Amino acid sequence: MILAEGTKVELKFTGDRGVVTDLLEHDMVMVLLDDGDEIPVATGDLIRPDESLQLGPRVNAKLLTLPP
């Protein structure tokens, strides 16, 4: 996931939402939560709110190349 300051995110395990305010070292970012708290969060513990919505079930598919 590409993160920049101002990116809206959701914490994967708690569902809290907020905005990235600073990029830190070691794959960490500062997030200003909607309740006003600002906390450091590992990037692996974040999802973008639009990624949590799925438009339909995932499908396993293979790409087949047919001879001409």
* Span 8-26, pLDDT tens digits: 999 999 999 999 999 999 9
Topology classification of domain 8-51: SH3 type barrels. (2.30.30)
CA angle 9, 11, 14 (to 5 degrees): 145
* Span 42-61, pLDDT tens digits: 999 998 876 554 444 555 65
In the chain, domain spans: 8-51
pTM of the model as a whole: 0.71
> 3-class SS at 9?
strand
pLDDT of 7 strictly over 70: yes
Q: What are the C-alpha distances in Å from 12 to residues 17, 22, 59, 62?
A: 9, 19, 23, 30
